[in-house]
Amino acid sequence: MVDQREDQEIQREKGEATRRRKWEMRQERKRLQAQKQAEEEKRKRRQDEKFMREALRQARKAAALGDVPIGCVIVCRDKIIARGYNRRNADKTVLSHAEIISIKKACRVIGDWRLEECTMYVTLEPCPMCAGAIVQARIPRVVIGSKNPKAGCAGSVLDLFHEKGFNHQVELETGVLEQDCTELLQEFFRELRQKRT
Ligand SMILES: [Zn+2]
């Protein structure tokens, strides 16, 4: 009788130890998974910042011409395939927005009007024309520096990227090098005001 009780006790303890071990293994797996995910996100962010820096370089070219500094690059399989900057004033046409110029170049490189494997990096949230072109070109992902509360169509005034009525939705990333993108614009308008007075 005593032996049987001892036996049961041993079995119970064994069961408990196994359950604890399994629980610990599950926790460890979860921890490693979360760590891997965090590292992947960090890598993605670094990559996004690298390409946004090139978009900023493009934006400075616009400022040098006296155009509002907005720059854009289009990336396909981790490679920049098109660059553009705002030339509205230089070309005397609204069709010379950074995004439209970049889309045209990217289409020439890819040899198609569809840019389905591309990511666009742009220093300022796109206007309705450019947001429309992005949807039309089926660009799957757009990364934005600054928001544009007065004309932005990626969520500020309108959200053309997540319009359920359209057959294409755009994944959006915002706030990448936001401060640099905003300061560049502020500096441009500050200098413009100074020149006028
Ligand atoms: Zn535009």
Which H helix or E strand runs over 164? none
Query: Tens digit of pLDDT for each residue in 18-67?
Result: 999 999 999 999 999 999 999 999 999 999 999 999 999 999 999 999 99
Ligand 1 centroid to residue 42 C-alpha, Å? 29
Is pLDDT of 81 > 90? Answer: yes
Ligand 1 centroid to residue 133 C-alpha, Å? 9
pLDDT recorded at residue 78: 95
Active site annotation includes 39 = no
**Among 119, 62, 73, which residue's Cα sits nearest to residue 96?**
62
- Strand, coil or helix: what is 158? coil
User: What is the rounded average pLDDT for all residues in the chain?
Assistant: 96
CA–CA separation, 176 and 39 (whole Å): 17
Ligand 1 centroid to residue 193 C-alpha, Å? 23
Bridge partners of residue 32, in order along the sequence: none
Asked whether the beta carbons of 114 and 120 are under 8 A apart, the reply is no
Asked whether the beta carbons of 96 and 90 are under 8 A apart, the reply is yes
Is pLDDT of 2 > 80? Answer: no
Bridge partners of residue 80, in order along the sequence: 75
Options 99, 125, 171, 187, the catalytic residue: 99
Query: Tens digit of pLDDT for each residue in 125-157?
Result: 999 999 999 999 999 999 999 999 999 999 999
Q: Where residue 106 falls among pLDDT bands split at 50, 70, 90?
A: very high
